[in-house]
Structure 1
Amino acid sequence: MFSRFGLILLLLIIQVLMLFGIFRWFEEFLPHIMGGTALFTVVMVIYLLNSKINPTAKITWLIAIMLVPVFGVLLFAYTQSDIGHRALKARMNQIIANTRESVPQSEDVMEMLTRENQGVASLAHYIQRSGCHPVYEHTAVTYFPLGENKFEEMLRQLEAAEHFIFMEYFIVDEGLMWGRILEILARKASAGVDVRVMYDGSCEFALLPRDYPKRLRKLGIKCKIFAPVTPFVSTHYNYRDHRKILVIDGHTAFNGGVNLADEYINQKEKFGHWKDTAVMLKGEAVKSFTLMFLQMWGILEEKEEYGRFLAYPSFPVEAAKGYVIPYGDCPLDEDKLGERVYMDILNRSLKYVHIMSPYLILDGEMETALKFAAERGVDVKLLLPGIPDKFVPYALAKTHYASLLESGVKIYEYTPGFVHAKVFVSDSREAVVGTINLDYRSLYHHFECATYLYGVDCIKELEEDFQNTLGKCRLVTMDMVRREKWTVKLTGRLVKAAAPLM
Structure 2
Amino acid sequence: MEKLLKVISNRAVIIVLLILLQLGVLFAIVFRFQNYFVYFYTFYLLISSSVVIKIINSRSNPAYKIAWIIPIMLIPIFGTVIYLVFGRVRFSKKEKTKMEVIQEREQLANERTVPKAKITDGNQNAIIQSNYLSKYGESSLFTHTTSEYYPLGEQAFEAMIEDLKKAEKYIFMEFFIVNEGEMWQTILDIMIKKAREGVDVRFIYDDFGCLFTLPHGYDKKLRKEGIKCCVFNPFIPVLSPIFNNRNHRKITVIDGKIAYTGGINLADEYINAIERFGHWKDNSIKLVGEAAWGFSLLFLSMWDFVNSTESRVEEFIPTYEANELPETKGYYQPYVDSPFDRETVGMNVYLNLINRATDYVYFTTPYLVIDNLLMEALCNAAKGGVDVRIITPHIPDKWYVHAVTKSNYAQLIEAGVKIYEYTPGFIHSKTCVVDGEYATVGTVNLDYRSLFLHFECGVWMYKTNGVDDVLQDHLETEKLSQLITLEEAKNVSFPKKVVQACLSVFAPLL
Q: What is the TM-score when the length of structure 1 is the normalising length? A: 0.91
Question: 1:229 maps to what in 2?
Answer: 235
Q: Equivalents in 1 of 2:195, 2:443: separation in Å?
A: 28
Task: Give, in whole Å, the separation in 1 of the partners of 2:19 and 2:412.
Answer: 32
Q: For each residue in 1:464-487, what CA deviation from the matched residue of structure 2 results, as whole angstroms up to 9, or x when unmatched?
A: 111111011111112112223555
In the alignment, residue 290 of structure 1 is paired with which amino acid?
A: S
Aligned to 2:103: 96
Q: Residue type of the partner of 2:199?
A: V
Distance change in 2, residues 1:441/1:153 (3 Å) = same
From 56, 65, 71, the equivalent of 2:78 is 71
Instruction: State the one-letter code of the partner of 1:465.
Output: D
User: Corresponding residue for 1:345?
Assistant: 353
Separation of aligned partners in 1, 2:20 and 2:59: 28
Aligned counterparts of 1:37 and 1:59: Cα–Cα separation in 2: 20
Two-structure CA RMSD over aligned residues (Å): 2.7
CA displacement 1:46-99 (0-9 Å, x = unmatched):
554443221112222332333234333344444565456444323222211322
Residue of 498, 502, 507 corresponding to 1:499: 507
**Contact (CA 8 Å) 1:96, 1:131: kept in 2 or not?**
no
C-alpha separation between the residues in 2 aligned to 1:59 and 1:280? 40
Gaps of 5+ in 2: 1-13
Work out the CA distance in 1 between the residues paired with 2:374 and 2:467: 23
For residues 112-138 of structure 1, what are the alpha-carbon distances to aligned partners after superposition, in whole Å with 9 as ceiling and x for unaligned? Answer: 1xx431111111111111253101111
Deviation at 1:336, TM superposition (A): 0.2
Change (3 A) 1:102 1:275: same
Mapped pair 1:285 → 2:297: no
**Shift in Å, 1:396:** 1.0
User: Aligned to 1:207, which of 210, 213, 216?
Assistant: 213
Partner in structure 2 of residue 471 of structure 1: 479
**Equivalent position to 2:64, from 57, 70, 74:** 57
Q: Distance in 2 between matches of 1:453 and 1:378?
A: 20
Q: State the match for 2:188 in structure 1.
A: 182
- Per the TM alignment, residue 221 of structure 1 is displaced from its structure 2 partner at its CA by 1.2
SS state of the match for residue 240, structure 1? coil
Task: State how far apart, in whole Å, the 2-side matches of 1:341 and 1:426 are.
Answer: 12
Amino acid in structure 1 at the alignment position of 2:240: S
Tell me by how many angstroms 1:218 deviates: 2.2
In structure 2, distance between residues paired with 1:96 and 1:439: 26
Per the TM alignment, residue 103 of structure 1 is displaced from its structure 2 partner at its CA by: 0.8
Q: In 1, Cα distance between the equivalents of 2:407 and 2:180?
A: 36
Q: Answer yes or no: is the 8 Å Cα contact 2:231–2:306 preserved in 1.
A: no
Q: State the Cα deviation string for residues 268-303 of structure 1 (Å, max 9, x = none).
A: 000000101110001111111001111111112332
Contact 1:398 1:489 (8 Å CA) reproduced: no
Q: How do 1:99-118 residues align onto structure 2 when only pairs under 5 Å count?
A: 99-104=106-111, 109-110=117-118, 112=120, 115-118=121-124
SS of the equivalent of 2:439 reads strand
- Aligned partners of 1:63, 1:416: CA distance in 2, in Å? 38
Of the structure 1 ranges 208-217 and 333-342, higher mean CA displacement relative to structure 2 is found in: 208-217
Aligned to 2:404: 396
1:100-249 to structure 2, matched below 5 A, reads 100-104=107-111, 109-110=117-118, 112=120, 115-249=121-255
Pairwise CA distance, 1:492? 2.1
Identity of aligned residues (%): 40
C-alpha spacing 1:46/1:167, structure 2 compared with 1 (3 Å): closer
Corresponding residue for 1:369?
377
Q: How do 1:36-55 and structure 2 match up within 5 A? A: 48-55=55-62
Moved more, 68-77 or 131-140: 68-77
Task: Tell me the equivalent position of 1:13.
Answer: 27
- The one-letter code sitting in structure 1 at the alignment partner of 2:335 is Y
Alpha-carbon distance in 1 for matches of 2:389, 2:25: 43
Contact 1:245/1:255 (<8 A) preserved: yes
* Secondary structure, aligned partner of 1:206: coil
Partner of 1:489: 497
SS at match of 2:385: coil
- Aligned letter for 2:101? Q
How many Å separate the matches in 2 of 1:7 and 1:402? 42
Say if 2:116 and 2:142, in contact at 8 Å, map to a contact too.
no
**TM-score normalized by structure 2?**
0.89
**Which region of structure 1 is more displaced relative to structure 2, 457-466 or 155-164?**
457-466
Give the Cα separation in 2 of the matches to 1:499 and 1:15. 30
| 1:8 positional shift | 9.7
Displacement after TM superposition at 1:308 (Å):
3.0
Structure 1, unmatched stretches of 5+, are: none
1:484–1:251 distance in 2 versus 1, CA, 3 Å? same
Structure 1 pair 9–497 and aligned structure 2 pair: CA distance change class (3 A): farther
Distance 1:19 1:377, change over 3 A: farther
Secondary structure in 1 aligned to 2:456? strand
Q: 412, 421, 425: which one pairs with 2:429?
A: 421
